[in-house]
Amino acid sequence: MVILVTGGAGFIGANFILDWLRVNDEPVLNLDKLTYAGNLENLTSLTGDARHVFVQGDIGDRVLLDKLLAEHRPRAIVNFAAESHVDRSIHGPEDFIQTNVVGTFHLLEAVRGHWTNLPDDEKAAFRFLHVSTDEVYGSLEVGDAPFTESTPFSPNSPYSASKASSDHLVRAYHHTYGLPMLTTNCSNNYGPHQFPEKLIPLMILNATRGKPLPIYGDGMNVRDWLYVTDHCSAIRTVLQNGRLGETYNIGGWNEMPNIEIVKTVCALLDEMRPDAAGPYTRLLTYVTDRPGHDRRYAMDASKIHQELGWKPAETFETGIRKTVRWYLDNMQWVENVASGEYRKWLDTNYAERGAQ
């Protein structure tokens, strides 16, 4: 028995593999292209562990997919492989279309060919879980009800449009071909091993370097924050017990505006690594908002709780404290993943916006 995890060297995928192997001994075949955000250093604790087999490759490589499926015969596939940063999708949308849409199509086609030829008992037990985002639902105003699984898609960025497309493909392959599909749509993840272009690790990294903490617009864009290991436990729950063809929203029940997230990080840094120059909030810098910036996301995660009994174990207060502590204790990891290419892109992105 083995499961195939695509994108397993990225932030959520790597945390999922580490979490999976903490709670059971079923081996993991990890397929990752190792783009800028895929980093095997996330999985160094598994070095020499026979339960983890890594293959560098693209979900768009049909020859490789056919080979891996035939050789390893996974009982389940968990698809994390995706380009996932809104700002990068604005600067370069083509990569998002190629990976999130075309890549998902090739993966589905390979899986369809493999699944169709399985013996009846293996076919009945097989599962494909597609990991997606709350951003496919669009934007909410203050006072609007949170997103449910029946909220119409209304993506507003090239990234969210590409993920919405992949969600539609997964749904279509279930209804057209009978593939045993499950979809999860999660809110903003945070925690260890997150690439330092996302809000929380970027604020920690910049603060410890004495650099400005860039806040888009007025800082009042609201997100629901989900600690990454809670997300991993939810995916395991859906994979094991979810109803085929269903979508499950996964949220942390932690709606907060971005400015409050950054101030919370600053307060924890003041406590854990005080700066002689003064409170880290002195570094707050408001910059021009990004194009099409969604105002609010909020997830109604009651379905997964009522049907499958899942709820998050971490509050935002416990999760963010663990996260800041992890980054401070692992600054060498941060330096290693923050390549010259990454710094060049980050400097370009924020230089274009400028301080307000």
pLDDT at 39: 84
Residue 80, Cβ neighbours under 10 Å: how many?
A: 26
The active-site residue, picked from 58, 135, 197, 255, is 135
pLDDT at 227: 98
Is 41 one of the annotated active-site residues of the chain?
no
Q: Which domains does the chain have, with CATH numbers?
A: 3-191+224-257+292-316 (3.40.50.720)
pLDDT tens-digit map of 36-74: 778 888 999 999 999 999 999 999 999 999 999 999 999
Read off the pLDDT of each residue in 26-41 and give the average, rounded to a whole number. Answer: 90
Is 297 one of the annotated active-site residues of the chain?
no
HSE of 25 in the Cβ direction (CA atoms, 13 Å)? 1
Question: What is the side-by-side strand order in the sheet with 181-186?
Answer: 52-56, 28-32, 3-6, 76-79, 127-133, 181-186, 247-250
pLDDT tens-digit map of 101-110: 999 999 999 9
Per-residue pLDDT for 355 more than 90?
Answer: no
pLDDT tens-digit map of 79-116: 999 987 677 778 889 999 999 999 999 999 999 999 99
Is 159 one of the annotated active-site residues of the chain?
yes
pLDDT tens-digit map of 164-201: 999 999 999 999 999 999 999 999 999 999 988 889 99
pLDDT at 311: 97
The active-site residue, picked from 32, 58, 159, 190, is 159
pLDDT at 86: 72
Helix or strand run (H / E) with residue 87: helix 86-91
pLDDT at 342: 47
**Residue 109 burial (10 A CB sphere; 0-12, 13-18, 19+):** middle
Residue 291 pLDDT level (bands cut at 50, 70, 90): confident
Query: Which region among 51-55, 59-63, 228-232, 331-335 has the lowest average model confidence (pLDDT)?
Result: 331-335
Are 308 and 237 in contact, with CB atoms under 8 Å apart?
Answer: yes
The active-site residue, picked from 83, 134, 197, 314, is 134
Task: Give me the chain's average pLDDT, please.
Answer: 93
